[in-house]
Amino acid sequence: MRFDPNLDAESAPNIDHLLRANFPTEFEANLVSGLRNSRKMCAEHGLWDHGSLVGYIGYTRVRIEGVDSKRQIWGLGPMAIDSAHQRQGVGSKFLTESLDYIEVDAVVLVGHAEFYAKHGFRPASEFGLTYGDDSTRESAFFALECWKGALDGHAGHVLYEDAFYRE
Ligand SMILES: CC(C)(COP(=O)(O)OP(=O)(O)OC[C@H]1O[C@@H](n2cnc3c(N)ncnc32)[C@H](O)[C@@H]1OP(=O)(O)O)[C@@H](O)C(=O)NCCC(=O)NCCS
């Protein structure tokens, strides 16, 4: 499998197919297509297997309400691994490679606790970060400092790009 740190415009159909097939609704596929068209993606990483895209991770910038920060804080997501390759360690290796590649201060995400905890993510509440109003989303909200103290003085409500809030 080949890690691709620079998915280009021509990968759009592959990304769309992967996201439609591996999420219960079209939300993630439409979200990524909109973010790509409006050039809001900070980075997009792919995993290719014999010409098929079997993994995808997109990153966007996030802001913290009321905090004027120079730090690079990115939101990770969506992330998907093709169903035929899930639960075989592929996502873990891909995530490690992806996090090693980006040069940022911190990463936040909404996702499966068991998966991301294995990669150093902590409940975002430990850093005083909040995401949504409902407790389900809050309990799935995680943060990773890329260096110790990166999120010091950064407590507050995290705001993603507007497209994340459209149904
Ligand atoms: C979540 C996902 C990216 C993980 O990739 P993966 O290649 O399956 O992960 P790995 O094989 O490296 O690690 C597996 C571990 O991740 C966790 N995990 C994987 N899928 C999970 C799920 N649907 N729910 C909860 N935990 C999950 C478990 O801890 C699992 O360990 P186990 O197999 O011993 O139970 C992948 O399953 C996926 O794309 N799912 C569908 C899309 C999705 O839900 N994306 C959102 C991610 S937040």
Residue 65, ligand 1, Cβ within 6 A: no
pLDDT tens column, 39-52: 999 999 999 999 99
CATH of the domain at 110: 3.40.630.30
Q: What is the DSSP string of 78-108?
A: EEEE-GGGTTTTHHHHHHHHHHHH---SEEE
Which residues of the chain carry a pLDDT beneath 50? none
Range of the structural domain that residue 160 is part of: 2-165
pLDDT of residue 132: 79
Q: How many domains does the chain have?
A: 1
Give the distance (Å) from ligand 1 centre to CA of residue 70. 33
Give this prediction's pTM.
0.95
Q: Is the peptide bond before 78 cis (omega within 30 degrees of 0)?
A: yes
pLDDT tens column, 53-62: 999 999 999 9
Residue 92, ligand 1, Cβ within 6 A: yes
> Which residues, 6+ apart, have CB-to-CB distance to 45 below 8 Å?
3, 4, 5, 7, 55, 56, 57, 58, 94, 97, 98, 101
Residue 83, ligand 1, Cβ within 6 A: no
